[in-house]
Amino acid sequence: MTATSHPLAGTSRRTYPPVAAIATVALGLVVIGGIVMASYVPRQAPLALPGALLAVAGALMLICVLLLIQLQDFSFDRFFQVFGWALLAYSISAGMIEFAFVRDHTRGTSLLIVTMMLVIFATSVPTTIAFTTARYATPPSERDGQGKEPT
């Protein structure tokens, strides 16, 4: 395959912040915290480690949002289109996991921490998918007057 026949050969080289990487690290932290919480069910789990992991993951997701709102010349329409559908799918998965914890009689602060971890789970993966898709989409400034990408 020659360089000119590569699908991305004609695209401009824009640089983006590491939104997908940061969201993936946040996902990893809540997965670790969720495993710790699940390993104690039905007993009361110690909350220091899962709480700390949740706090760091939440801060990382906030950083993702701040990085996203600072982007210019980015295909936000594509981002939100992909994000919405991925959010729907991951919200269903998070809801099923939440149901399992409630069914196992997780209550109080433990349930709150698990719920917040599931919120991060349900938003970090769609953020990664949507950002990765949108970064390779044609931004609005490079589209023709009808919103179509150049061929």
Mean pLDDT for 72-81 is 94
Tell me the pLDDT band of 140, cut-offs 50, 70 and 90. Answer: confident
Whether 9 has a pLDDT exceeding 50, the answer reads no
Q: How confident is the model over 69-82, as a mean pLDDT?
A: 94
How many CB atoms neighbour CB 87 within 10 A?
A: 19
SS3 13: coil
Domain spans of the chain?
18-139
Provide the 10 A C-beta neighbour count for residue 93: 13
DSSP reduced 3-state for 105: coil
Per residue, the 3-state secondary structure of 28-59, as one string, reads HHHHHHHHHHHHHCCCCCCCHHHHHHHHHHHH
Residue 81 pLDDT > 70: yes
Whether the per-residue pLDDT at 149 is higher than 60: the answer is no
pLDDT at 83 over 70: yes
Q: What is the pLDDT of residue 92?
A: 98
Which tens digit of pLDDT belongs to each residue from 11-65? 556 789 999 999 999 999 999 999 998 898 778 889 999 999 999 999 999 999 9
pLDDT tens, residue by residue, 84-131: 999 999 999 999 999 998 998 888 999 999 999 999 999 999 999 999
- Which of 117, 115, 119, 21 minimizes the C-alpha distance to 63? 21
For position 2, what pLDDT does the model report? 46
